[in-house]
Each structure stands twice: as structure tokens, then as C-alpha cells.
Amino acid sequence: MESELENFREQWRAEVARSRNTATSSTQQQEQQRPQKAQAASSSSSSRAPPSRKSEPPKNPRIASKIASHQHQEDDDDLTRGQAFDEPAGPVTAPNTLAAFQQGAGETEKEPETALEFYEKAVEKESAGKLGDSLHLYRRAFRLDNHVERAYRDKHFPGRWNKQPQQQQQQQQQAPPTDKAAAINPSNAPATVPNTAHHSLDGPPLSLPDLIASFAGLSIQPAPPEAEGMPPPPSPLSALPEEILVHILRDVAILDVADFVRLSQVCKRFAFLVATEDRIWRRVSLGDEFGFGAMVYHFQRGISWEDLSRDAPTTPEDAENRLTLEELRRHQKAEAEATTLELVRSSQYASSWQNMWRRRPRIRFNGCYISTVNYIRQGHSTGNQITWNSPVHIVTYYRYLRFFRNGTVISLLTTADPADVVHNLTKELVRQHENKAMTHLPTAVMAEARKGRWRLSCPGLDQDPDADTDLAEVEGDLFVETESAVGPKYEYRMDLALKSAGKGARNNKLAWKGFWSYNRLTDDWGAFELKNDKAYYFSRVKSYGFGGV
């Protein structure tokens, strides 16, 4: 999509320049029409059909996931990033109601007027996945100003484009210092000026581990007095013993790990405790709030969220040896905790609970995973139209996945925007709109939602006993089984891989490994081709809280 937009921008600039220059010749016009024809041909070639089923797929989805040749290789920069939905959306009303008419008569959204405003609105639509609206706004922006992209760049990214040329920087680095002071401070900047080109007089900067270690002997300093001669304000935290302070920080981490990490910005002592206090990270990792104690490595519910029932024993000996369902789940939980304790001592995590928390695959419950899919479909053209005016349809739809702690999941495929959907992904609304009921309500989008269950890969079920593999290599796969949109005869099976996108975020991406349809009557598997589907990205929703069961 980015390449299509970039080609459109270049061709539009060429068309505007050609309209201003009245002295262009016919040969130049023919040369400028060639890339337009090439764009129309690329638009038709990029048209993709919906996924289809194979005639004879393998019956085992694990084997199919290994031999599937259509695994996606995606670029993180070309996909839509996850968003944060802090406030729930208001009630949706029909456009012909009195409330909507009164709302339209009041304050309305200001329409863009200048070329820069059109360009900013187009960027906003493009980031939300609405490429059709963004193309229309880009066209209007470049029609008003051919250099609107430069104005947008100077307004929003001034420091990135005003850097010194690379050759000038190399000359400054290669220039020999004239005296001893210049050798200590090559940039010739005052020691009090906070400039990035300034070199410290104490030597090279410390690495991050050494910098954190230098904070070990520091204490919490109280705030300075408000005026000279006045006593300083009280500082209860600076007088607390170390044990009580660590206990307070642990309670903060249990409530919200993000708030606990942000405490490192308060002072150097807090930064040292957040980075080195392994007892807090152990509690967070083993806990059920955000850690691996809430992960599901065995299916706990049925696809329709029903309780799993075990078969009744046939003999008294079987009744004595058979575990109850509660005992089996306690055994599975103890096994998962033992695996966590064994993994933390491996070379991958180096006995650091903080490293395990950041790097080990896990599902996040305080939000949902959204996949934004865009593809181009060639429209109908008549014989009177030239290639440039042939319609091209940009189709946009979304896939949603919300996971719950008891092993259930909600799956939704719709064209509704995330702002109108994420706050409605609840079990109550799924049950309310079951079997297409109550479609007149504003939350009718949940009528297309599907129930399902999920689990993560674990050594006991997914590890090959003949292969010599580590425990960490087995982890990282997510298996989701949902109801089918066709009927109870079919089930859907999604195999996803937990990955990370971006520099600071972890476990915020679900990459496709396979998508199958299972026929219960014939015991057959049909694989979808996944031509247009993109990876899921995590978006935090504040109204979810910890994520319910």
C-alpha cells in the first residue's frame, strides 16, 4: 500500500507541473502517460481473491503448519501499529434519528481548508487503515499545493531534516584539535550547555549497566526548600527502610507493571530498584495478574465456552487412578510453574526474572489484538474511459481477537472501525447477540463475533520426543480454535506466532502460521491461503482493566 501511495504522489506532482507549463510538447505528454498505464496494470495485478480451500489438505494441522509454503514475511514499517483506547466510545445512533439531527446541528468537526490541513487529515486516515479516504485527501492537498509534503515535514519533523550534511560532520570529526582544550571538548561547546555534540569532561559515557550500578549507593533526596531560609518539605519516602520501600514497589507492580516501570523516572534510587530488584520481577512473572501464572498451556474450555467433561470410569480401578478435572488443572498449573522455574535458569534468560518477563512469549489481557487488512480490487471500466480513470476499489476490513484468562477468546471479522468495536468485545454482548439476535441495537456488530478457545505451546504437547530441543524453542506458538461463520458443521483453527514489533514493545504481534477449516462430519481439514491477511497488533484498552475471565 505504501508503494501504491508513493507512486500516486509522484504521478500527481508530475500532472500538476504539466498543467502549469503550457509549453509542453505532445512527446512529453506521452512519456508521462506511461507510468500511469503502469500503475493501472500494477493495480489490476495486485487484485487478490479471498482465501480458498485446498482439495486434499493434511488432516493434522501441526504437520500442515510445518510444511505450509505461504508463511508471511512482513515488514513492521508497512503495517498498522497498535493504538491505545483509553475512553469507551459513546452510544451509536442511527443517522436519521432526532439525537443525530440535534448533534449535527450543534458543534461539528471542522473541515480542512488549507493544503496542510488536508495532508494532515490524510495521514490520520492512512494510519487508521482507511486508504480510500486518505487517497482522496492526498489528491485535494496536492491540488492546492504541490509542495505540501515539505510543509508537513517541516512542521512535524523539523529536527530530523535540519541536520548537518554527512560530509560536513566527517570533516569536523577528522579535523585535528588545535590545543588541549579542543582535544577534551571537540565541539568547542561550553560545559554548561546541554548539547548532544558536547563530550563529557570526565571521559566517555558509561554503558547502561554501569550507569545503573553507579546508583547503588544513592538515597532518595527530599525536595529543596521553596524559599531560602525555609525548612524543606517533608519526604516520607526518604525516611522509609529499604524493606518497606520494596514492599510498596511490589504492590505497585502488581497493580500495573507500566506504573512500576515509570517510577524509574522519579529519581536515581527508584531507577536502581526498578532495574535490579529481582524479587519484584519474580512476583510479577509468577503472578496471575500479568505474568505466566495466567497463561493457558492446555485447553480449559470447549470451543463454545462450555466446561470440559471427562469420560466416566468403566472399572473401579480406573475410578481410583483417574484424576478429577480440578485435580488435573492443579497438576497442569504446577507443571507450568515448574517449567517457568526451569526456564529462568537457562542461558536465554541468565537467571534474570526481568529478562524473562520481557522476552518470554505471553498473552496480554489488558487489550485486544487487531489485524488491519487492505487490498486493491480493480473496478469496472467502459470502453470510453482511459486507463487513468479506471476505478480501483480499496477494500479495508479488520480482524479482532480478545483473550480471557480462563482460556476463552472472542474472534470478530468486520469492516467496523476499532474505535466502534473494541469497547464492545465483551462476553455479555456476544451472548446477547447470539444467533443474530437484537440486530437493531448499536452493538449489533457483535452479532458476527465467534466464540473460541486458546492455548500456548508447551513441551508436554508440542515437543517432539525424538528431537533434542530446548524448552524455550518449543514456546512461542499460539493455537486458537473458534466457531465457524458457516454453521456448527465446521470449526476454524488458527496457528499464530508470538513476536515483537518495535524497539521497546514486547509480545505485541501475532504473525500468521496457518489457518484451517475443520469438517466435523468428514474429519477433513481445509487450508485458507491467507493472501491478504496481515499480522495482529496489540492495542491497549483501558476499560478492560486486568482482563476478565
pLDDT tens sequence across 193-222: 444 444 444 557 888 888 888 898 888 888
pLDDT at 370: 94
Contact 399, 373 (CB under 8 A): yes
- CA separation for the pair 220, 436 (Å, rounded): 60
- CA separation for the pair 266, 220 (Å, rounded): 10
pLDDT tens digits along 429-484 = 999 998 888 888 888 899 999 999 999 998 877 777 666 667 778 888 999 999 99
Cα→Cα distances 224→220, 231, 233, Å: 12, 9, 7
Strands 450-456, 490-499: pairing is: unpaired
Residue 192: pLDDT band by 50, 70, 90 thresholds?
very low
Q: Considering only CA atoms, which of 45, 152, 117 is closest in space to residue 375? A: 45
pLDDT at 59: 44
As beta bridge partners, residue 481 has: 453, 493
Cα→Cα distances 209→19, 29, 213, 275, 503, Å: 60, 62, 6, 9, 18
pLDDT at 378: 76
Kindly report the number of other CB atoms within 10 A of residue 161's CB atom: 9
Contact 479, 495 (CB under 8 A): yes
Handedness of CA 430, 436, 439, 445 (dihedral sign): positive
Q: Which has the minimum average pLDDT: 167-171, 390-394, 429-433, 480-484?
A: 167-171
Q: Which has the minimum average pLDDT: 59-63, 165-169, 354-358, 469-473?
A: 59-63
Q: Which has the minimum average pLDDT: 27-31, 53-57, 273-277?
A: 53-57
Cα→Cα distances 476→96, 284, 320, 331, Å: 49, 20, 36, 22
Q: Which range in 89-93, 311-315, 326-330, 441-445 is most confidently predicted, on average pLDDT?
A: 441-445
pLDDT at 410: 96
- Tell me phi and psi for residue 236, to 5 degrees: -65, -35
Domain boundaries, the chain: 209-225+234-276, 363-544
pLDDT at 40: 39
- CA separation for the pair 448, 419 (Å, rounded): 17
pLDDT above 70 coverage of the chain, percent: 69
Kindly report the number of other CB atoms within 10 A of residue 453's CB atom: 24
Strands 367-378, 392-403: pairing is: antiparallel
Residue 454: Cβ-neighbour burial (10 angstroms; 0-12, 13-18, 19+): buried
Contact 231, 225 (CB under 8 A): yes
- CA separation for the pair 432, 446 (Å, rounded): 9
- CA separation for the pair 252, 258 (Å, rounded): 9
Contact 35, 7 (CB under 8 A): yes
Q: Considering only CA atoms, which of 61, 52, 51, 68 is closest in space to residue 524? A: 61
Q: Which has the minimum average pLDDT: 48-52, 59-63, 406-410, 526-530?
A: 48-52
- CA separation for the pair 401, 479 (Å, rounded): 12
